[in-house]
Amino acid sequence: MTIVHVTGARPNFPKAAPVIAALRTHGLDQRLVHTGQHYDDKLSEVFFRELDLPRPDVNLGVGSGSHATQTATVMVALEELFLADRPSLVVVYGDVNSTLAAALVCSKIGVPVAHVEAGLRSFDVTMPEEINRKVTDALCDLAFATSPDAIAHLSREGVPAERIHLVGNPMIDTLLAHLERFDPAPVRAAHGLDGAYVVATLHRPGNVDDRAQALALVQAIHKSADLAPIVVPLHPRGRARLLELGFADHPGVRVVDPLGYVEFMSLVRGAVAVVTDSGGVQEETTVLGVPCLTLRPSTERPVTITHGTNKLVRAEVLADELRAVIDRGRPEGWPVPPLWDGHAGERIASILADWLAPDTARDAARDRPATPATPATPATGQ
């Protein structure tokens, strides 16, 4: 009985870490496959060092490419891997191309799939991640939801109720487990921040691919940087276009390379606000109580708005919204979504172990030596 975890990009690692750790207590054999969709040290390797993740058993090293190229390359490599050494179950995380590729391969060769973070929907089909989510959920055998709205989406799409489990958010498990390590002081000193500051993460196609949209983003960030310094760990995606448009020319915009998990979360914890188009950052700020302004027209994580500190904003009003956040200050109390309590990984591991247990029993019975027949007993109802 072997469980294979497929990870590929930065957001996958803090989601996978608590699940892998919790499954160790159940004595199940596990393998970790890293597709190499993200391969920069700060987007990949640092997570294995900082989150106590086991080193990948396999690194496919697929690298970057178009959505089609990257997905196809991962599919070819995973199919060969799974046919040579067939797993009992594959666990996929989030909504990256590696997630979709693994779900497609498993569905074709008859390997069960569990999807961690199932049911999230932005209802914006121009986002590649939305397509990845919907297809993965249609193919998975176990759907682990982080919030009640995700369960509603899965039900409307016809996913049987017995496949759906509300478990909480394993990314928050990782955040809470390392909370004491998130010290803003050394990070502030390293970046020369002696007062209020803002953190920004920006990489979505809708913000950085189109030149006009990217220019509007640059202007919005510059106007916002008049209010407080903005530290931007700039993702490789869109970096060239933003810099070409003068993104780093404002003295208040401090562009830095992508940061490791602990350093980044320390920076976020000490910020007066975060500006983002990332999904995971909306969740992390929700738990940390850091006001979050999400530069997108919609979010697949509406629970971070109803039960957190998140707000959707447009580029043209970003500076005004940021000024209001700075004037209000950090909230003293805020709601947190149900089951975001640091134990999602344990719930997922327990469900996986129970789900696999019948197969284990059948295999054990099949392998036992034959015994003399005994009289049949009446069956009992279940």
Q: Angle formed by the axes of helices 97-109 and 128-139, to 10°?
A: 30
Sheet of 198-201, strand order: 253-256, 230-233, 198-201, 273-276, 292-294, 310-312
The pair of structure tokens assigned to 59 is 């690194």
The residue-averaged pLDDT of 129-153 equals: 97
For the stretch 211-263, pLDDT in tens is 999 999 999 999 999 999 999 998 877 888 999 999 999 999 999 998 989 99
User: Known catalytic residue: 203?
Assistant: yes
Report the pLDDT averaged over residues 135-154.
Answer: 98
What pLDDT shows up at residue 117? 98
Mean pLDDT across the chain: 90
pLDDT value, residue 37: 66
Percent of the chain with pLDDT over 90: 78
| CA-based nearest residue to 281, from 61, 29, 26, 267 | 267
pLDDT given for residue 381 in this prediction: 32
DSSP for 90-136? EEEETTSHHHHHHHHHHHHHT--EEEEEET-----TTSHHHHHHHHH
Q: Label residue 85 left, alpha or beta by phi (over 0 means left) and psi (-120 to 50 means alpha).
A: beta
The pLDDT value given to residue 1: 82
Write down the pLDDT at residue 10.
Answer: 84
Fold type of domain 179-328: Rossmann fold (3.40.50)
Segment (H or E) for 286:
helix 279-288
- Which residues, at least 6 apart from 198, have a Cβ–Cβ distance to it below 8 Å? 224, 227, 228, 229, 230, 231, 271, 272, 273, 274, 275, 322
For the segment 33-44, the average pLDDT, to the nearest whole number, is 66
CA dist 258 and 365 (Å) reads 52
pLDDT in tens, 43-90: 557 777 888 788 889 999 877 778 899 999 999 999 999 999 999 999
| 47 sits in which H/E element | helix 45-50
pLDDT greater than 50 at residue 190: yes
Of 115, 203, 222, 343, which is the active-site residue?
203
DSSP 8-state assignment for residue 273: E
- Give the pLDDT of residue 63: 72
Residue 248 CA to residue 233 CA, distance in Å, equals 12
The separation between CA 309 and the C-alpha centre of its own chain, rounded to angstroms, equals: 18
- Alpha-carbon distance of 169 to 14, in angstroms, equals 10
Q: How many residues are present in the chain?
A: 382
Residue range 21-28: mean pLDDT, rounded: 94
Q: What is the model's pTM?
A: 0.90
Kindly report the three-state secondary structure assignment for every residue of 210-269.
Answer: CHHHHHHHHHHHHHHHCCCCEEEECCCCCHHHHHHCCHHHCCCEEEECCCCHHHHHHHHH
Domain regions of the chain by residue span: 2-169+339-362, 179-328
Pairwise CA distance, residues 215 & 246, whole Å: 9
The CATH number that domain 2-169+339-362 falls under is: 3.40.50.2000
Predicted local confidence at residue 54, as pLDDT: 81
Buried b (16+ CB within 10 A) or exposed e, 325-354: bbeeeeeeeeebbebbebbbbbbbbbebbe
Q: 38 and 9 in contact (C-beta within 8 Å)?
A: yes
